[in-house]
Structures are given as structure tokens and as C-alpha cells.
Chain A
């Protein structure tokens, strides 16, 4: 019998997919090498997808034989992914032309990866999670090596592809073993089997371990983080922003859904595992970030540390921890996309200004940009009244309330360590004089718009977080039923 075919349930993803296919056709129009219009149409598609997500708010359905779920959780992540993709499209327009690498396929692949992300967020079956992961990853592998002919770009693309292929292999093998243990790949049916005693099956435990390795790679958690710094450094800066925000959010969405809906009955067992991963990621990420002289590499290790903070919320679980994770991912998307957006506007001696010393004296020549960057950095540290503070407060608060006091303590200590390297950038901007030729700002209207949106997000979520927190917590409820 045919399953329930519901285009409603996949409408936000369909909007993105249809826009990507439309861009394929529009790319053929003769426009003398200019591809701005593709980014604008792509952006319209992203906005349409977000409007559809808002319009479907409050639905809770399953479609396609349980393969797809339309619930608050998926819709919340659709919005996060929409913001990430939209900001990246805006940031890329002038940046690509400046680097002489403008091409229609770039915007098309960005949209394809966004489709993969929405699939992961709304998947009710391990197979669909895997397919979404692959759609997202394949596009990102190509995008990471976009600056063809540059050594770091080749390294980034190659490392990301090879390690990513390994991670996909682990993930798929994990799915096969879980299928062997429970007789299904559907999350609901796995939940029934686990509650019915399959939890002690070694097949399930090994399969779940392999699944965690696959997820750990995508969220760049220690010890699956080896690719992160090189890929973040070698990829075009706007793509780095997409990898850091969208792909991380999508992987966390799928991970949280598997943990909370399929394996909720054995939470104490997996909480121990993620406790270890969270501590390792926070500590290793922050300590290594201290030594970095390249801003993109520094933010890469910072992103590993942030994966650790978010895992604190995963360990806490429930509506509180899960809501904290969702809220933090929204905050992190604005903050990180903004931080990479600032870096991408800076040039020194005709090359990208990505060294920490390039920031010297920025505040005297470009006070507004320096202030904007400072806000993003303070949000990454977690200083009030920025969004990062509220996000961390709720993550660690959830850990304390569920009894993981030491985890919260380690998290707070780590935030203090992290303050050093973020504040160092601010010190360079405000208190150092540049040596040699100064760093120049390359003005760009779309990128300015993107920075304005990101800044709005950081301030809004920091000053008036309550409605968004309520949304985030309400979004987790469908998983807990």
C-alpha cells in the first residue's frame, strides 16, 4: 500500500530543493559572468522556506510511513538552517567576485546542502538521516575546495572528503547493526524495541557507538575533530561559516532526535558517554585555541569547544537540556556567521586578513566594524548582555538542575579559559598599532546586510530571550512524548 504522501510535511525542504533546481536553469541565462541574481533568487527561496516553516508552526504529523516528521523540532531547526543559509548567501556575493571564483554552481550547492540539513532535521528514520547527511556533505566537500589551485583549499577539500567518507561508512555500519538488533530503522520502532529489552543487545550498543562516531565527526567533537582546523582554514570563509553553523545544527538536530525519541529509556547509559565527549571537546578545543595565530583556525577550535558546551545540554536531556541546545544553536548560528562575516570583509596587501596581528589598529580606522566584531566575540565568550551569555546560562543551568554539577563547573571554567583568546582579538583591535600596511575594509552591501541581521540576532536573543527560549523548549516536547 502506498504510504501517506504529504507535501505539507516536506514543504520547507521542497521550497529549497525547487529553488535549487530553478537556479540550475537560471544559471544558463547569458549575464556576462555576473551571478548575483542567483544569490538573490536563492535567498528568496530560503525566505520562502522559512515562511512555510512559520506557517506550519504547531503541526505534529508523521508522513511517508514514518520517514518524515513535521513537528516543532523540525520547524525550529528549519529556521536555524534558513538563517545560516541566508547569511552565507549574502556574505558570498561580493566575496566570491573579489576572489575571482564566482560561479552559479556555488549558490546551487549551498542550497543543496541546506536541503540535506532540513532532511536531517525532519527525519523520522535512520535511512533518511543518512541520506540527508550525504546530500549536505557532498555539497560541502565541493564547496570546501572552491578556491581551486590554492594549497590549503585542496587540503581542506581532500581531508574533509576522505574523513567524511570514513565517518559516513561508520554511520551506515551503525545503522545496519541497529537494524540487526531492533529489526527496524524507524526511530519509533527502535524506541519500542529498546524499551522491550533490546537495550542490552551488544549489536545495538556497537551500532550506537558507530552512529556516535558519525555524528561526532559532523559536530566536530573531540576525538572526531581532526579535520576541523584545516577545513575551516582552507575553505572559503563564507563556506566555513556554513560548515560551522548549518551543518553543525543539522547534525545536532538528528543526534538529539535519535537520543531523545529512540533511546530515551536508556538515557543514563548514553549520558555517561556524552559527559566524556563534552568534557574532552570543551577542554581540548579551548586549550588548543589559545595557541592559534590564524583567526579562522582559532574559530575552528572555538567551534570544537562550542560543540562541547552544546553536548552539556545533550547530557542534561529532557525539555530543559534539549531546549537549551536548540536555543544555543540559534545563538551560535548568528554569532559565528557574524564573526566569519567580519573576517571575510578584511584584506591586507591584497590577500585575506586572517592573522590575529592583521587586526591591529582596526578600531581607529573602522570603528563600527570593530565594535560589531567585538559584540560577536563577547557573545562567543558568553558575556552579558549578549546572546552567548543567555545560551550558556541555560545550558549549564539545565546541567545543574539534572544533577550534573561537575559538568557545569568544567563548562564554566572552560568559558573563563576561552575568554583569553577571544579578548586578545579585541585587545589587538583597540590597543595595538599596525605594523606595515594597514588592513582595509572592503565594503559590500549584501555582507553589511548579513552582519546587521546577525548583530540583531545576537542582541535580540541576549536582551529579550524569553519568547525564543519558550519556542525552543516547546519544540523539544514532541520528542519526549
Chain B
């Protein structure tokens, strides 16, 4: 029962943030909605006991790619033309106590016994070992083809940008 309720909350969060990503005009807000969306999907993975996928989702997508998006938007859109003046200036002072609260939270989590579980994280069903085994046995061929796909994408990007420079 609990997992069903959690699923519906997460599903609403994921769909809602996806809609928000599409309808917001401000690209920064769009990028932040994307982070929420990717995080929600990671939580859905966790509910299906795909721990490794969830971690990879957070690290690669919510972490690296979303940050890259935000950087690109910041660099490509100069000044405040797109974003306009900050309408929530008054809320800035909240950042200090909220930041302190977050630090406290992290400290509490770290002090708890979450990381002292006896199970090795590698051997759980959705863990690194299971994914790795599948990737290098049953899905060996698609795995190799993916690397070829990345090579094609690399050459395509080079072909597009090289001639612009010359």
C-alpha cells in the first residue's frame, strides 16, 4: 500500500515537472524542472530495486547533464533579457538558514547507520554486478554498437563545426 501511494506521488511529480519543462518560457526554470524530473525518475528506479540505475541516473543525468544544460544556458543567454529581474529578491536572506538546515540534515544522515549494512552493494539484484553481467553477456552486441553510435555522433559534430571554423 505504501509503495502504491509513493508511486502515485512520484508519478505526479515526474509528469508535472515534465509539463513544467515544456511550458515555462524561462530556460533556467525549464532546466530546474528537468532536474526534478530526472530525480523523480531515479526515485522510480529505486522503487523497482534498480539501485545501480538510480545512482547512475542521479550522477549522470541529474548531476552532469543538467549542470551542463544550466551552464550552456547561462553562457548563451547574456544578461537578463530572457530571465528578467529577480522577482523573489526578498527571499534571498532565506538561503542562509535553509543552507544551514540542509547541512544539518546531511550530517544527521551520515551519522545514522545507513552505510553500515552487511549486504555488499555490488551483489544485490539491481546492483552493479547484475547490470554489468547483462551488459557484457546478453547485451554485448548492443553495447558495442552503442560505442559505434557515439563515434558516429562525434564525427558528425566534428564535421558540422570544423567547416565553420575554416
Q: In the docked arrangement, what's the CA distance between A131 and B152, Å?
A: 12
B159 within 8 A of A: yes
B7 within 8 A of A: no
- Say how far A463's CB is from chain B's closest CB, in angstroms: 39
- Say how far A422's CB is from chain B's closest CB, in angstroms: 35
B95 within 8 A of A: no
A28 within 8 A of B: no
When the two chains form their complex, are residues A109 and B160 in contact, meaning their CB atoms are under 8 A apart? no
A275 within 8 A of B: no
Most central of A106, A119, A138 by chain B CB within 10 Å: A138
Q: Given the known inter-chain contacts A5-B140, A141-B156, please indicate yes or no for A135 contacting B148, CB distance below 8 A.
A: yes
Q: In the docked arrangement, what's the CA distance between A65 and B145, Å?
A: 15
Q: Given the known inter-chain contacts A138-B156, A141-B156, A142-B156, please indicate yes or no for A128 contacting B149, CB distance below 8 A.
A: no
When the two chains form their complex, are residues B160 and A65 in contact, meaning their CB atoms are under 8 A apart? no
Number of B residues with CB within 8 Å of any CB on chain A = 22
Partner of B160, one of A3, A115, A142: A142
Q: In the docked arrangement, what's the CA distance between A24 and B152, Å?
A: 11
When the two chains form their complex, are residues B145 and A132 in contact, meaning their CB atoms are under 8 A apart? yes
Q: Given the known inter-chain contacts A109-B152, A115-B148, A135-B149, please indicate yes or no for A128 contacting B159, CB distance below 8 A.
A: no
Overall SS of chain A's interface: helix
Partner of A139, one of B142, B146, B152: B152
Chain B residue, CB-CB nearest to A112: B152
Q: In the docked arrangement, what's the CA distance between A260 and B126, Å?
A: 34
Please name 7 further chain A to chain B contacts, defined as beta carbons within 8 Å, in addition to the given A67-B142, A109-B156, A131-B145, sorted by A numbering: A2-B137, A65-B138, A65-B141, A103-B163, A132-B145, A138-B149, A148-B163
Q: Could you tell me which B residues sit within 8 Å of A by CB distance?
A: 136-142, 145-146, 148-149, 151-153, 155-156, 158-160, 162-164
CB<8 Å pairs between A and B, sample of 25: A2-B137, A3-B138, A24-B155, A63-B141, A65-B139, A67-B139, A67-B142, A103-B159, A103-B162, A103-B163, A106-B159, A109-B152, A109-B155, A115-B148, A116-B152, A125-B142, A128-B141, A128-B142, A128-B145, A131-B149, A135-B145, A135-B152, A138-B152, A141-B156, A145-B160
Cβ-closest 6 pairs across A and B: A105-B159, A64-B141, A142-B156, A67-B141, A112-B152, A131-B145
